[in-house]
Amino acid sequence: MAENDRGHQNPTFTMDETDKKSNEESRCVEITREIKKRSKWNNEIEFLMSCIAISIGFGNIWRFPFTAYENGGGVFLIPYIIVLFLVGKPIYYMEIILGQFSSSSSINVWNISPGFSGIGWSQFYCNTALMTYYSSLMALTLFFLIASFSAELPWAKCREEWLDYCIDSSHQIDNNTSNITSFVQLLNEKERRSSAELYFLKVVLQEKDSIDDGIGLPSWKLTLCLLVSWISVILITSQGVKSSGKASYFLAIFPYIILFSLLIRAVTLDGAATGILFFVTPKWSKLFEPSVWYAAITQCFFSLSVCFGPILTYSSHNDFKHNLYRDVLIVTTLDTFTSFIAGCTIFGILGNLAHKMGLEDISKVVKSGVGLAFVSYPDAIAKFNVVPQLFAVLFFVMMFVLGVGSIVGMVSGLAHSLKEKLPNVQIWKIVLCICSMSFAASTIYVTPVRGGQFLLNLVDYYGTSFVVFFVASFEITAIMWVYELIVTFTYTLKLKRSIIFLQTGIENFLNDVEFMLDRKTGSYWRICWFLVTPLILLFIFFYTFATLQLLTYGKKEYPISAHAAGIVVSCLGIFQIPFWMIVKLLKNRNLPLSKFGFFFVEYKKVFSANLAMGAKGYRAQKGLASIQRGEREAEKSQKEAKMGSIDTHFD
Q: Residues 412, 414, 415, 419: is their CA dihedral positive or negative?
A: positive
Contact indicator for 363, 72 with CB cutoff of 8 Å:
no
C-alpha–C-alpha distance, residues 324 and 321, integer Å: 9
Q: Give the bridge partners for 553, in sequence order.
A: 556
Task: Tell me: is residue 170 an annotated ligand-binding position.
Answer: no
How many residues does the structure list for the chain?
651
Task: Tell me: is residue 402 an annotated ligand-binding position.
Answer: yes
C-alpha–C-alpha distance, residues 34 and 252, integer Å: 31
Residues in contact with 475: Cβ distance below 8 Å, sequence separation at least 6, in sequence order: 91, 94, 119, 307
CA angle 476, 480, 485 (to 5 degrees): 130
Contact indicator for 408, 53 with CB cutoff of 8 Å:
yes
Q: At what angle do helices 466-477 and 290-304 cross, to 10 degrees?
A: 80
Q: Give the bridge partners for 193, in sequence order.
A: 166
C-alpha–C-alpha distance, residues 434 and 456, integer Å: 20
DSSP string for residues in 590-609: TPPP-TT-HHHHHHHHHHSP
Instruction: Report how far apart, in Å, the C-alpha atoms of 191 and of each of 167, 185, 201, 434 are.
Output: 10, 10, 15, 44
C-alpha–C-alpha distance, residues 239 and 246, integer Å: 11
Task: Tell me: is residue 303 an annotated ligand-binding position.
Answer: yes
Report helix, strand or coil for 383. coil
User: Could you say which DSSP state residue 63 is in?
Assistant: I
C-alpha–C-alpha distance, residues 378 and 169, integer Å: 8
Task: Tell me: is residue 406 an annotated ligand-binding position.
Answer: yes
Amino acid making up residue 98: L
Residue of 124, 308, 132 lying closest to 233 (CA atoms): 132
Q: Residues 569, 573, 576, 577: is their CA dihedral positive or negative?
A: negative
CA angle 536, 6, 416 (to 5 degrees): 65
Integer-rounded Cα Rg, in Å, for the chain is 28
Contact indicator for 234, 313 with CB cutoff of 8 Å:
no
Contact indicator for 239, 415 with CB cutoff of 8 Å:
no
What residues are designated binding site for Na(+)?
Answer: 60, 303, 402, 406
What residues are designated binding site?
Answer: 60, 303, 402, 406
